[in-house]
Structure 1
Amino acid sequence: MLSPERLALPDYEYLAQRHVLTYMEDAVCQLLENREDISQYGIARFFTEYFNSVCQGTHILFREFSFVQATPHNRVSFLRAFWRCFRTVGKNGDLLTMKEYHCLLQLLCPDFPLELTQKAARIVLMDDAMDCLMSFSDFLFAFQIQFYYSEFLDSVAAIYEDLLSGKNPNTVIVPTSSSGQHRQRPALGEAGMLEGVEASLFYQCLENLCDRHKYSCPPPALVKEALSNVQRLTFYGFLMALSKHHGINQALGALPDKGDLMHDPAMDEELERLLAQVPGLVNSVTASPEASCLPSRTPPRVGSPWRPLHHHSRKVDGESDGSTEETDESET
């Protein structure tokens, strides 16, 4: 049954809003790269399994960063995968450095840029040294804001700098490239870090930015709520307020509430099924933080979401009892 949202939009607008062409192009590229294997099972089955993986959010595992950040759904899927795979870090109470968290990110996305990890760590650490230890939950919620709203925050940083210098923030150019090469965030001077800007004026500029921004941005009403109790604020104080805001986390929809971050039996079962499909990931999750964060560790590369399923199902099909229970479980 078609949703009311689908019926309210012309076909081309709905396809663009859902980034369907992005997934079709990626599916075709993988189809061509693996055409010899696919010829044994059929194109229809390949597309079925590909789009099932997109719906389940597993399509971003071990993919290049340009694909991981290509759509809002991909970003949400990556955030959720990072939380699922390394939630044990938080459950064990381990504290890691920025470089160690970056190694964990690279286990899921080999070319994940260090710059984004550094920006997320700076939200937590503020003026502290970048080699300080951070809890998993603090880093995760800061990383969520930085990663999902990356382009928006680059524009916010420029607005903040303009307000500090007395310039007109309306002259800020909103980034329009989706290539993943984000503009370098302006360096915030020590005076700007301590002094801050007037919260009401800052919000007015952000409201105008949200109206014209082409990328995802937090709901303006929730941003206003996050700033309602302060008269002045610094840039990183603003980012910290976003990362701790319950409503913004719910609106984004990638992570549970902070109180439920470590407690989810159903998620533990799903994690076990995921690890069973990727044996190379088991050691990285169950090992100590020091062992799992070695820079020399090379994450496994999965070129296509359907390939392990085919190999597994072919083995089951050859068994005499005809059972499909194991195959069905591996495809969930």
Structure 2
Amino acid sequence: MEPYPRIFNYHRRKQLEAERVECSAEEYIDYSKISIYLQDATKVMLDRREEKPLELLQEYFNLALKGEHVLLRDYAFISASLYNRSCFMIQMNAIFHSSPYFKVVTALDYHQCLCLLCSDFPRTLIAEAAKILPPHPNYPSTKTDTFISTLSQEPALFDKFEIEDLRLSVQLFFYFAEFMEKVKEVFNELSCGDYENAQVTISLLYTALEGLYKKVKIYLYPPFELVAEAIIIKSQKKMKMNPDDVYLIEEMQGFMTGAGTISFNEFTYVRNIQNLMRINKLDKAIAAQGTYVQPQEEKLKEIVLQEPPPVESSGQQVRRVKSKKKK
């Protein structure tokens, strides 16, 4: 299969960069969610009431820089900002994806693991992420008429999946939660109520998603170029595009006509997920588990507290300088 063509929009990218630099103080606070961390730090200081509150405040933000402030917190907190979501995903990868032995798991077991980090992590999110994935071929699927579960109304939770595929799918529904909810609404409207299985026309879907980006805050969604690429992966055989060329986003609408149909599950399939998760090299950052640079003051304290290295004897006598007596 020929590789799908690359697309970009230089003018929109420059416009977004200019808007990010020229945003007001209120817009920056809304984007970074700084108030969430100030309120949380204040609550910690009031609860503990230590003698040195400034040191406690410094400890809190050091943990936040490390990304460890999201551990054992409720779902409302870990999903309150994009930074918190990124930190939680880094912890997911560091704790549950570092073992070389567990490659295939059920969605329900994966949810139980996440509950060790966040006790109220929604099971519905895991179920939504599992629905779009094909079960592991070596294990029977529960998506049959003979399977009856008395524990859950979502049989996909009991299917076994490749753990990396499940991770990407869960992180897509978690990190881009607002975007995925809007996409489901778009598919539900275009398919007259059956967004999971019904096929919708790609040109109509493209137009609806393009209009969606004009109504909301862009930073909550993946770049529109990546969304268009996810559609091209499904329909590249029917689109008259040269894989060796690079196309502007403004040119895509003409290629979408007659490109066929697509379902919600096909739109969010594994290869498309890997494409959408390239936002700001997020997946690479998760794989690297992030880096933490200590403040300069902390480094100086460590140097001061270190014991001096032993001095090797050279066999020579050391002359001592006598201090002059004061008259």
Shorter-chain TM-score range: 0.5 to 0.7
Amino acid at match of 1:150: A
Query: Which of these residues, 69, 78, 96, is aligned with residue 86 of structure 1?
Result: 96
1:107 and 2:116 aligned: yes
For 1:101 and 1:252, how far apart are their aligned partners in 2? 26
Q: Distance in 2 between matches of 1:21 and 1:242?
A: 37
| Secondary structure in structure 2 of the residue aligned to 1:255 | helix
**2:105 maps to which residue?**
96
1:226 touches 1:245 (CA, 8 Å); kept in 2?
Answer: no
> Structure 1 pair 7/249, CA: closer, same or farther in 2 (3 Å)?
closer
Are 2:107 and 2:127, in contact at CA under 8 Å, matched by a contact in 1? yes
Q: Deviations over 1:188-243 (max 9, x none)?
A: 47xx61x4111121011111112212471111111011112412111111111575
Q: How many residues align structurally?
A: 236
Report the CA distance shift for 1:158/1:9 in structure 2 as closer, same or farther (over 3 A): closer
Q: Deviations over 1:101-159 (max 9, x none)?
A: 00110011011111111111112148945111111100010011111111221221121
Aligned to 1:207: 210
Corresponding residue of 2:322: none
SS in 2 for 1:212: coil
Partner AA of 1:238 in structure 2: F
Q: Structure 1 residues 212, 228: CA separation in 2 closer, same or farther (over 3 Å shift)?
A: same
Alignment of 1:151-166 (within 5 A): 151-165=178-192
| Corresponding position of 1:8 | 22
- Matched with 2:279 is 251
Distance 2:177 2:46 in 1: 32
3-state DSSP of counterpart to 2:266: helix
Pair member with larger Rg: 2
Structure 1 residues 202 and 19, CA, compared in 2 at 3 Å: closer, same or farther?
same
Post-superposition shift, 1:97? 0.6
* CA–CA distance in structure 2, aligned partners of residues 86 and 104 of structure 1: 8
C-alpha contact 1:226 1:241 (8 A) present in aligned 2: no
| C-alpha distance 69-151 of structure 1, shift in aligned 2 (>3 A) | same
Cα-to-partner distance string for 1:286-330 (whole Å, 9 max, x where unaligned): xxxxxxxxxxxxxxxxxxxxxxxxxxxxxxx9xxx9559xxxxxx
| 2:85 maps to 1:70 | no
Partner SS, residue 134 of structure 1: strand
Report the aligned-residue RMSD.
3.0
Question: Residue 244 of structure 1 aligns to which amino acid in structure 2?
Answer: I
Q: Which has the bigger relative contact order, CA under 8 A and spacing at least 6?
A: 2
**1:228 equivalenced with 2:232 (yes/no):** yes
TM-score by length of 2: 0.64
Are residues 1:145 and 2:172 paired?
A: yes
Q: Which amino acid aligns with 2:85?
A: R
1:84 partner amino acid: A
* TM-fit CA distance, 1:244: 3.3
Q: 1:309: which partner in 2?
A: none
Q: Given the superposition, is the C-alpha separation of residues 87 and 244 from structure 1 closer, same or farther in structure 2, using an over 3 Å criterion?
A: same
Structure 1, unmatched stretches of 5+, are 166-185, 271-316, 325-332
Q: What stretches of structure 2 of length at least 5 have no aligned partner?
A: 1-16, 136-140, 144-154, 236-259, 292-301, 308-327
Q: Distance in 1 between matches of 2:91 and 2:178?
A: 21
